[in-house]
Copies of this chain bind each other. A is one copy, B any other.
Amino acid sequence: MSRTGRRPGPSSTRAEITAAAARRFAAAGYDATSLRQVAADASVDPALVRRFFGDKEQLFTAVASALIDPERAVAAVAGGPPEAAGERLLRYFLSLLGDVSRPGPLLGVIRSAVTSEHAAGLLRRLLAEQVLREIAVSFPSGRPEFGAALAASQLVGLAVARYAVRLPPLTAADTEELVSAIAPVLQYYLTGQPISATEES
């Protein structure tokens, strides 16, 4: 099953396993995915997957945190003028989701969480404890964790409605149209800052 003849080092093997796992979780869901299948997809021994990642739970968390990198998410929100935090968060999330005709692996993580209580618990922990809490710290308004969770709900909903259900007005809209419509909402959730009227007639 060697594809190139070169002998990949541990870090590229790790990346290949993570990528294979992301594809499996996306296609089959969390519950139906086994370490054995992931190992076969990545052309490695199952024991190696176990040695690198532990069990399936830890593998899923590794995949999800590689995608929703807490540090990058928090940096996207906090790194820049506060009045554009919602826009930065949305652009970061859209870049994670990828092209509408060929969604990236993040959709698979969301899909797994929607169908498996176990995966949902892992994603909840990652989001609540590592991403949303940190984002909330940057916006010490009235109820920052509630606001950060509301922002997350809009982002997850955009992922589902645009990339999974594929509602035509959302697949037809480009990044700038989405940013123009949704960034003010994220800004409002994060800061309580009012949304100004759209310029559209």
Instruction: Decide yes or no whether A19 CB sits under 8 A from chain B.
Output: no
**A41-49, A52-60, A142-150: which lies at the B interface?**
A142-150
Instruction: Decide yes or no whether A24 CB sits under 8 A from chain B.
Output: no
Interface residues in A143-179 (C-beta closer than 8 Å to B)? 143, 145-150, 152-158, 160-162, 164-170, 173, 177
Contact A156-B146, Cβ < 8 Å, known A111-B115, A128-B167, A196-B194: no
Residues of B within 8 Å of A111, CB to CB, are 114-115
A152 to chain B, nearest CB (A): 6
A148 to chain B, nearest CB (A): 8
Instruction: Decide yes or no whether A198 CB sits under 8 A from chain B.
Output: yes
Q: Are A127 and B167 in contact (CB under 8 A)?
A: yes
Instruction: Decide yes or no whether A77 CB sits under 8 A from chain B.
Output: no
Instruction: Decide yes or no whether A201 CB sits under 8 A from chain B.
Output: yes
Instruction: Decide yes or no whether A89 CB sits under 8 A from chain B.
Output: no
Residues of B within 8 Å of A193, CB to CB, are 197
A31 to chain B, nearest CB (A): 10
Q: Are A195 and B188 in contact (CB under 8 A)?
A: yes
Cα distance, A181 to B181, chains bound together (Å): 17
A146 to chain B, nearest CB (A): 4
A125 to chain B, nearest CB (A): 10
Nearest to A196 among chain B residues (CB) is B194
Q: Are A154 and B154 in contact (CB under 8 A)?
A: yes
Q: Are A192 and B198 in contact (CB under 8 A)?
A: yes
Q: Are A141 and B200 in contact (CB under 8 A)?
A: yes
Q: Are A146 and B158 in contact (CB under 8 A)?
A: no
